[in-house]
Structure 1
Amino acid sequence: MRNLSDRLLAATYAQESAEVFVPIVKLTHSDWTESVRWVRDTVALVHGGETYSPFPFDLALPEDKDEGFPVLRFSAQNVTREIIGQLRKVRNEVLGEVSWVLAATPDVVEMGPFEVQITGIEYDALTINGVMTIEPILEEQFGFLEMTPSVCPGLF
């Protein structure tokens, strides 16, 4: 069960609320001089001492299935050409962090942070689309030992 702040719960259950629940995304890559930080809002947001720029994007949450890895699907409007320039240079995955916060209290993370890995991006003149794999550590090779009789005698 996820612990949510009293402020978010009150806003969720209220008939009307001025609270805005926004996702923030931070993308990093070893070839970039600085990370890309977005907030889905019309104004910039400061979270953890870093400024997140307003950017038109959507995130689709993972489907509730037992099979496969959970993935977030994202779509962003291709409004600035500098992002495409950065993405064209990338030859391996882009790492990221996705969180949801209330705009009034941006340093309180309501949901997340989720570590994500972007391995494929498609773009055209209007949109940028991609898939963010949540918890990419699940794809890592486990251990360095081999299952041999000398290492694991109980298996043989």
Structure 2
Amino acid sequence: MAELERAESPDALIWFLTITHPDIGEPIRIVSDVFDYVLGGETYTAMPFDGRPLTDNDQMPAAELVVSNVDRRVGFALERSTERAIIDLAVYSSADFDLSADPRTEIGTASRVYGFGRFELSDVEVTVTQIRGRVTLPDYTQEPWPYMRATQDRFPGLFV
């Protein structure tokens, strides 16, 4: 990772983000570039975003994520839902892709430089221009008890 982040490095780091949420349906796949990419048979839509590696200190690993708010459904789902979105982030080198193709495709099998998966997006702030949130591991010691709420969607028989 340090070698690829050097200013003299001929390769760029490309960030791939997957957001899954029960209120959205299909996962949202975006790439931090101005061109679409195909990775592992899935198409990632071009949308530059601000992602950072997780912290590496005595605290629980965390990072801040800022994505452009280009689809109102995503912002509404993340802001109003009782469920948290699940974040998967992977970083690849531009050397692993055919940069002359549109969309960009893998050359052979791309190897991940950095990444994390199954993290939660919490403390979500949605504005007209961006969605900002904190990426963390689930902290079950901070969950309210009981964890599951008796809502009409989960327990329709209670609300007859």
TM-score by length of 2: 0.67
Task: Quote the residue 2:62 is aligned against.
Answer: 71
- Pair 1:21-2:13 in alignment: yes
Give the 4+ runs in structure 1 shifted more than 4 A.
Answer: 11-14
Task: Indicate the residue corresponding to 1:151 in structure 2.
Answer: none
1:99-145, CA deviations, whole angstroms, 9 ceiling, x for partnerless residues? 101234153211123331112210111221100104x3xx347xxxx
Say whether the 8 Å CA contact 2:79–2:125 is kept in structure 1.
Answer: no
Q: What corresponds to 1:34 in structure 2? A: 26
Equivalent position SS for 2:78: helix
Q: In percent, how many aligned pairs have the same letter? A: 24
Q: Cα–Cα, structure 1 residues 124 and 49, in superposed 2: closer, same or farther, change >3 Å?
A: same
Aligned residue for 1:127? 130
Counterpart in the other structure of 2:74: 83
Structure (1 or 2) with the greater strand fraction: 1
Are the aligned partners of 1:71 and 1:133 in contact in 2 as well (CA < 8 Å)?
Answer: yes
**In 1, Cα distance between the equivalents of 2:29 and 2:140?**
26
Aligned AA for 1:76?
V
Where do residues 26-65 of structure 1 align in structure 2 (5 Å cutoff)?
Answer: 26-65=18-57
| Structure 2 Cα separation of the partners of residues 88 and 13 of structure 1 | 37
Match of 2:88 in 1: 97
After TM superposition, give the deviation of residue 88 of structure 1 in Å.
Answer: 4.3
Q: Which residue of 2 aligns with 1:112?
A: 115
RMSD: 2.6
1:45 touches 1:51 (CA, 8 Å); kept in 2? yes
Long gaps (5+) in structure 2: 97-105, 142-160
Structure 1 gaps of 5+ residues are 142-156
Query: Counterpart of 1:152?
Result: none
